[in-house]
Structure formats: structure tokens, C-alpha cells
Amino acid sequence: MVLKYEKAVEKWGVFEVSVPGKSEGNPFVDYAIEGEFTGAKEQRKVAGFYDGDGIYKVRFMPVEEGAYTFQIKGSFSEQVFEGEFAAGPPTEENHGPVQVTGRYHFSYCDGSPYYSIGTTCYAWVNQEEEMQEMTLRTLKDSTFNKIRFCIFPKHYDFNFADPVTFPYLGTPVDSSGITKENFRDLIPFVNGGKFEGNDWDFKRFNTDHFRRFEKRIDELCRMGIEADIILFHPYDRWGFSAMGAENDALYLKYVIARFGAYRNVWWSLANEYDLIGNKTIADWENIAAVIAAADPYGHLRSIHNCRDFYDYSKPWITHCSMQRQDLYKEVELTDKYQEQYGKPVVWDEIAYEGNIQYGWGNITGEEMIRRFWEATVRGGYAGHGETLIPTPDYTGAEKLWWSHGGRLFGDSPARLQFLGRILKEIPDGGRLKAIPFDWDVNVAVLDDPEQENMKIKDFYLFYFSFMRPSFRSFHLDEETKFQVDVIDTWNMVVTPMGVFKGKFNIPMGMKQYMAVRLRKIKI
């Protein structure tokens, strides 16, 4: 059977083939479906998936422009489906998937820089429709270009409700008696992984659940936001964190077949992997191997810690996805970890702007922004989150951005927008790198081999953190002229100070969270 598609899909867009097939038995496991796609320079095999009601789908992301042919076959049908389609030029906002560039940074496939400014809403897709729409509106007004969220529902403080849909067919544990006092008894890292009261068929996916997710991934994609998908997590009363290796692999392949063609997808193997008591490092390595084998596009891959970092030097890991380990000092070690693991450092959790009782969820906006800048001037990236509740008498059912999405109330998002602007102003789409300088200031220059041997660099960004200088003396050499700007990272003001050379003093206003930017004037 020959299928024709009139409407061109854009390069790095999702091309989908939907075909009928067998529905006897359990189509999720009983049959296979695969597509082979051929363009002028590309040939790629991708697995399809069963979408219920006798319909099978294969999704494909073309990475070049021009004509493609394809062939869909497998045990799902006696028929072989063949066809062709055209991949057109990407739309203006489509820069392709994000990939690692240099040692410590990211670019889109079209070469444009990706300065990651992430946020976290673990369970936003598991909330009511209206709440999800609110989250999307909030994201639209923000600077965030990455969001971390879970596929499996979340059972944790502030979030005891059942999700809108479950990922499997079956019966969940009765949630009627769960309160903020007893919810921990149902978390596996506390109770050792017993999930009584659940009755799931881990071989039959709830297609509604996954359809809801891919809709959101697609919407994020159109908004230019990377979907950092958390595949496993420990906040679980249903047993999805303890399904066993075979079911894990089935799940991973299903997720990759459905979501893998979206260019904005990143795979986060787990949130706080080290709290999932039933999985060993060997299990995680197996999971990584399943993903690497199943993902035809090589999306970015990492795994996120609670306490101990995973060994980010493992070859399958594309970047470090870290949570701070120390209460006081962590993002300040960004360059140390870059060197240790040889990979980009993304601080996906640096505590949340908030006011809840836990230390991970009650830093000020100022401290959040300070941590972002500390990471940034060392050539790293950080992630935002918010746990602000309106009153101190919490009911346990508040909607917090960190878990539910919704609205943002904090002070940091506006300042992150400003940080995004400063990053976009780096000359020639460059990236930052820490250099040794004075002990009491952090200095970034361009991360560019050309700059290495230059005594005086083209660009300097000095960050003064919590310190409060009235002024600062600079003295890089005698002759180079610099355009000097004072940057108030909190009040979001860039003040051009003029052109200076030799030794010069720059007034800085006795304020915290200040930066000074020097741009060499080229003759």
C-alpha cells in the first residue's frame, strides 16, 4: 500500500504515519512495527507503537530537507506500507535539537547557541487541563527554555491527589486516607518499595496518558522550550518505580517510539535516582543501554541525583544534571565539575525560591539569582523552581510551581529574563568560561580556543555575588580600551560607564549582586 503526503513537514519536525493493524491479544507486546525512512543523505530505522483502537503509528524526525521515502512493516500487519513525503525548511523558531558543543556547552543543530535557563514542574502534565493551560501561559511569558517533568505521577508533599490519567491500565491504591501526616509511609524509599493496593497491567499502556504528554511536548516544542523528560522517580505510591527490568524496558521503548521524534526531547533517566531503593547502578546502566539502543536520534541524556552525583563520566551521559549536595556552596564548584566529568554542567536543582519548611524549598529570589549567576560565570547552567505558598498554615494541597505548574509568584523569573538578555549579548553567540583572576571575584571570558593565547581577552564578565563594593579598580594592561558596563543583576539595569584603559575605578553603588562587563574595543 502506498501512502502520499501532500503537506511538507519541516526539517526537525515530526512526520507521523498512522496505519491500521492487529488488535487481537495484547498489541503492546505481541506485535512489532518499524519504519525505514530514506532521504538523499539520511537512512534511518525507527520503531513505531500501538496507539489503541487498532491503530499503529510511526514517528520520524527528518534531519535534512528534501524528498523522503519510507517503508512501514512488521508483525502488526500482513501489509507493508510504503510512501513518500517532503521535508521543507525549518520555520524561524525551529533550530533543531539541542546538542553538546565544545566540551561544556550546548547548541541547536543549526549552530545557534542554546543558553539553558531551565525550570522544574514535576507533575504539571498530571494536573487538570486548566492548570496545564495556565502553566503554558506562564511559560510563554517567561524566559525558560527547558522544563523538567515526570511521566509517572508524583506522590509527595503538596501532591497527594491521583493524576488525571495513569500510564497503565489497572487499579491504583486507594488514596482516600492519605494526608500530609502519613504520605511518607507510602513512599518506597521509606517503606522499602511495597506498593500494596495497586493492581496494574504493566504490559498495557494507557494511551490517553501518553497522548496527553505528547500534546504538551509538542506545545513546548513550538514555544522553543526543551522537554527534559524524567523517566523514573522515587515519589511513588503506585509501583512505577519498581516494575522490574523487563517492564522498564517495555516502557522506555514505548516512550521513545512515541516521543523520540520531537526535537525538544531530553531524557532524564531519573530524578533523585539514589532514592529509588530497588534500582542499582547496574540497573541504571541497563536502562541507559535500552535508551541508547532505542533512540535513533541520540537525544541528550542524563540522570539526576539527590545526594551522591551519578558518575557523569559514563559515556552514555551527555551532560551533568546535578542537584546541589551542600547547603552552602555548590554552584561555585561548577568549573571543578566541568573538569572532573568533561561535560556541560547543568544545575537542575539549586533549591527553590520559596517559603516551605524544607531547606531545598525556601531560598529567596536573591539567592536563586545569585546561584544562577555563580553557575553562569563559570560557564555552567542552572535551573529555576518555585515553592512559594501564600500562608504559613499550609493545607498540603497548595499548588506550587515546582510540582503543579500554574502561576509564578517569585522574584526570580524576571531576573532570569534579564540574565537571558545578558547571555544573548555575549559577542558572536559565544559561551562563557571561568578564568583565574582575583580571589574575591568570579571572572568569565569567552570559551573559545582563539581567546586562550590572548593576554587581554575580547570580553570579561566580573561577578561580585553577595559582596557589596562601592567601587572596583581594574587594571588589565596599559593600552587596551574597554567599553565598560555595570550590571545590576537584581534590579535589572545595565549602566554604560564609558570607555576606559589602563588602571581605572568603576563605581558600583554599594549593592549586592553586581557585575561588570568589559568589551574590548577593536581597532
Contacting residues toward a second copy, per CB under 8 A = 181, 326-329, 332, 354-360, 362-364, 367, 389, 391-394, 438-441, 465-473, 503, 507-510, 512
> Which has the closest alpha carbon to 257: 294, 223, 231, 220?
294
Which of 93, 328 has the CB closer to a second copy? 328
Which of 280, 470 has the CB closer to a second copy? 470
- Whether residue 347 contacts residue 120, with contact meaning beta carbons closer than 8 Å, is answered with no
> Which has the closest alpha carbon to 519: 468, 462, 469?
462
Q: How far is CA 365 from CA 71, 91, 410, 434, 472, in A?
A: 53, 36, 7, 24, 25
For the CB of residue 392, give the shortest distance to a second copy in the complex, in Å.
4
Which of 45, 329 has the CB closer to a second copy? 329
For the CB of residue 408, give the shortest distance to a second copy in the complex, in Å.
17
Instruction: Please state at what angle helix 245-259 crosses helix 207-222, rounded to 10 degrees.
Output: 40
Grid coordinates representing 263? 526535537
Residues β-bridged to residue 499: 483
For the CB of residue 471, give the shortest distance to a second copy in the complex, in Å.
5
Which of 75, 505 has the CB closer to a second copy? 505
Which of 82, 367 has the CB closer to a second copy? 367
- Whether residue 122 contacts residue 154, with contact meaning beta carbons closer than 8 Å, is answered with yes
For the CB of residue 505, give the shortest distance to a second copy in the complex, in Å.
8
Which of 510, 521 has the CB closer to a second copy? 510
Which of 93, 326 has the CB closer to a second copy? 326
For the CB of residue 461, give the shortest distance to a second copy in the complex, in Å.
17
Q: How far is CA 164 from CA 126, 176, 186, 213, 518, in A?
A: 5, 16, 20, 11, 51
* C-alpha 444 chain-centroid distance: 24
d(CA 165, CA 129): 11
Exposure of 148 by Cβ count < 10 A (0-12 exposed, 13-18 middle, 19+ buried)? buried
Residues β-bridged to residue 383: 118
For the CB of residue 268, give the shortest distance to a second copy in the complex, in Å.
23
Which of 42, 411 has the CB closer to a second copy? 411
d(CA 406, CA 122): 12
For the CB of residue 438, give the shortest distance to a second copy in the complex, in Å.
8
Grid coordinates representing 325? 549536595
For the CB of residue 184, give the shortest distance to a second copy in the complex, in Å.
12
